[in-house]
């Protein structure tokens, strides 16, 4: 029997992946339970496995005391000294009480407990194995399905494809091989429970990692995904290498890479766009294939108004609003799409004034720099000084004298170099030179006009 027992332990370890130590511990616990139930429940017993002989031994553990109150749990010091002269009060002594025959009931009880412990150990192994597959793809075989769930065999365990995880309109037959995304793994009283999905956005990400080596090694990143499973998806990709085209890499030669993923998802359309850190550019890319003219962001809100050509309005919105809806999910912005002609009318409405202009004016006033305030004060002081000079220095003058005095005052009081705070462009400089020449010419011609009038 001992040889067969050792062989059984080794077989369980090989086939079930349960260590021999785990099996021995389960058997020892079962034998303690069986002994107490069928022989002496009051005893404090231990079961020990002899690995060399392949046999189990049952021991009754008793404490050394002066006066014995319970013979099942205690032994007197006098009796203990007869066994060994070194025992003292408080020591524990083990007495072997292994029955010659546990009996049929004891054997059945031990078998039941062993089976239970083995099942628990096997469940723990499966749970620890599949918990590492969370947020990853696995290939399984469809076992069966009912009106709600599809059950997929993953090898050691059966996973559940929930209604939320099923692509609308997708049908399976028994023994179909499918790829599923492991959404979560739960350790329940009935054992590990694995919930899988084919609609999760991350399934799309894992499929692209399989098909596109540049995504797998990190050269190209998937920055955002918006998906309506079974119909259409949008992906925003970014290249960490200037020499690698992110969109072209994902599409593949003649669309071969993306077509493999489309086939796996039963014809789901893919829009792959380039990611941009500029929100306006990202929104414009996300509304592809429509052409975006302008993007107006609403202050202090994650929303914007997008202007498109009149002929592109329906294209930007998409069938049943799908293109705009996916773009909003992809960018995390609430997008209001308007045709160019409608936007010109919208700009004159009170709603536009409140959403854009009034809020912007208030922010500009709050964010005014101290330098601007100082410059304003200096200009006001110069104007006041000029006004006072005009009143005091030139009380009575004729027309020509007034013009001369005003010109001299303005030139002396407000020098041209101090009045210009913003650098002039080249065009502005040329315009000023032309104006100066015209003024000189007019001055030369002025006396002739005076002589004619006389």
Would you list the DSSP string of 55-96?
EEEEEEEEEEESS-S-TTTEEEHHHHHHH-TT--TT-EEEEE
Q: Mean pLDDT, to the nearest integer, of 261-289?
A: 94
Quick one: average pLDDT of 63-77? Answer: 90
Residue 379 sits at φ, ψ, to 5 deg, of: -65, -45
What are the tokens at 314?
């329906």
CA 429 to chain centre: 54
Task: Name the CATH architecture for the domain at 200-275.
Answer: 2-Layer Sandwich (3.30)
Q: Tokens for 229?
A: 């499973």
Q: pLDDT at position 96, please?
A: 86
Average pLDDT in the 208-237 region?
96
Q: What CA–CA distances, in Å, run from 431 to 71, 410, 437, 440?
A: 119, 21, 10, 15
CA of residue 372 relative to chain centroid, distance: 44
pLDDT at residue 164 tops 80: yes
Please state the rounded mean pLDDT for residues 43-52: 83
Please report, rounded to a whole number, the percentage of residues in the chain having pLDDT higher than 70.
76
What is the arithmetic mean of pLDDT over 176-188?
A: 94
State the pLDDT confidence band at 218, using cuts at 50, 70 and 90: very high
Average pLDDT for residues 120-141, to the nearest whole number? Answer: 91
Kind of pairing between the strands at 334-339 and 294-297: unpaired
d(CA 72, CA 42): 7
The CB density around residue 428, as the number of other CB atoms within 10 Å, is: 11
Q: What is the pLDDT of residues 406-446, one digit of tens each?
A: 333 333 333 333 333 333 334 444 444 444 443 444 444 44
Greater confidence (90 vs 25) lies with: 90
Higher pLDDT, 447 or 93: 93
pLDDT of residue 395: 42
Q: Examine the pLDDT at 145 and tell me if it is beyond 50.
A: yes
Find tokens 């067969």 and name the residue: 4
pLDDT higher than threshold 70 for residue 309: yes
CATH number for the region 2-125 comes to 3.30.1480.10
Dist CA 161 CA 140 (whole Å): 11
CB 328 within 8 A of CB 303: no
CATH of domain 134-197: 2.40.50.140
156 or 436, higher pLDDT: 156
User: Which of the given ranges, 160-174, 177-191, 322-336, has the highest pLDDT on average?
Assistant: 322-336
Has residue 266 got a pLDDT over 70?
Answer: yes
The tens digit of pLDDT for each residue in 96-129 reads 888 877 656 666 766 777 788 778 888 888 999 9
pLDDT of residue 372: 44
pLDDT in tens, 346-395: 999 988 888 887 655 545 444 443 444 344 434 345 445 555 544 444 34
Q: What is residue 98's predicted lDDT score, i.e. its pLDDT?
A: 81
So where are the chain's domains? 2-125, 134-197, 200-275, 289-359
Higher pLDDT, 116 or 87: 87
Q: What is the mean pLDDT of residues 231-252?
A: 96
Confirm if 61 and 94 have CB atoms less than 8 A apart.
Answer: yes
Beta strands 220-228; 232-239: pairing state: antiparallel
- Could you tell me which of 362, 360, 341, 340 has the C-alpha nearest to residue 352? 360
CATH fold for domain 289-359? GMP Synthetase; Chain A, domain 3 (3.30.300)
- pLDDT of 258 above 50: yes
Token pair of 335 as six digits? 């997008």
State yes or no: cis peptide before 289, omega within 30 of 0.
yes
Fold: same for 2-125 and 200-275:
no
Residue 265 has pLDDT above 70, yes or no: yes
Percent of the chain with pLDDT over 90: 48
Burial of 31 (0-12, 13-18, 19+ CB in 10 A): buried
Give bridge partners of residue 96 from the DSSP assignment.
Answer: 59
Quote the pLDDT of residue 318: 94
């Amino acid at each position: 029997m001992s040889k067969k027992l050792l062989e059984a332990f080794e077989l369980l370890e090989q086939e079930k992946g349960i260590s021999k130590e785990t099996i021995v511990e389960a058997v020892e616990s079962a034998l303690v339970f069986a002994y107490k139930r069928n022989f002496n429940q009051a005893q404090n017993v231990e079961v020990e496995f002899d690995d060399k002989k392949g046999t189990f031994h049952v021991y009754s553990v008793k404490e050394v005391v002066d006066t014995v109150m319970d013979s099942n749990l205690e032994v007197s010091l006098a009796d203990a000294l007869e066994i060994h002269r070194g025992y003292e009060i408080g020591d524990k002594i083990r007495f072997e009480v292994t029955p010659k025959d546990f009996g049929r009931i004891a054997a059945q009880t031990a078998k039941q407990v062993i089976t239970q412990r083995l099942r628990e150990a096997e469940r723990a192994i499966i749970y620890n194995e599949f918990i590492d597959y969370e947020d990853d793809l696995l290939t399984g075989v469809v076992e069966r399905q009912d009106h709600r769930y599809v059950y997929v065999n993953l090898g050691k365990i059966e996973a559940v494809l929930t209604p939320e995880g099923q692509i609308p309109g997708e049908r399976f037959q028994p023994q179909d091989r499918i790829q599923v995304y492991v959404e979560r793994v739960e350790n329940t009283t009935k054992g590990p429970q694995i919930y899988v999905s084919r609609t999760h956005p991350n399934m799309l990400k894992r499929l692209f990692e399989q098909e596109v080596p540049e995504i797998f090694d990190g050269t190209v990143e998937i920055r955002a995904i918006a998906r309506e499973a079974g119909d259409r998806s949008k992906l925003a990709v970014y290249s960490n290498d200037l020499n690698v085209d992110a969109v072209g890499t994902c599409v593949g030669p003649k669309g071969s890479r993306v077509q493999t993923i489309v086939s796996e998802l039963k014809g789901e359309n893919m829009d792959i766009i380039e990611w941009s850190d500029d929100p306006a550019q990202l929104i414009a890319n996300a509304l592809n294939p429509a052409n975006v003219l302008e993007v107006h962001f609403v202050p202090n809100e994650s929303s914007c108004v997008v202007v498109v050509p009149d002929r592109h309005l329906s294209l930007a919105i998409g069938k049943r609003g799908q293109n705009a809806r996916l773009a909003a999910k992809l960018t995390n912005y609430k997008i209001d799409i308007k045709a160019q002609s409608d936007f010109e009318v919208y700009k004159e409405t009170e709603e536009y004034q409140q959403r854009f202009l009034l809020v912007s004016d208030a922010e500009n006033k709050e964010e005014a720099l101290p330098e601007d305030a100082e410059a304003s004060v200096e200009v006001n002081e110069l104007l006041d000084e000029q006004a006072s000079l005009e009143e005091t220095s030139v009380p009575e003058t004729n027309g020509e004298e007034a013009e001369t005095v005003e010109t001299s005052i303005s030139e002396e009081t407000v020098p041209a170099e101090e009045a210009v705070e913003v650098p002039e462009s080249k065009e502005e400089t040329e315009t000023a030179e032309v104006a100066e020449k015209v003024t000189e010419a007019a001055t030369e011609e002025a006396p002739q006009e005076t002589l004619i009038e006389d």
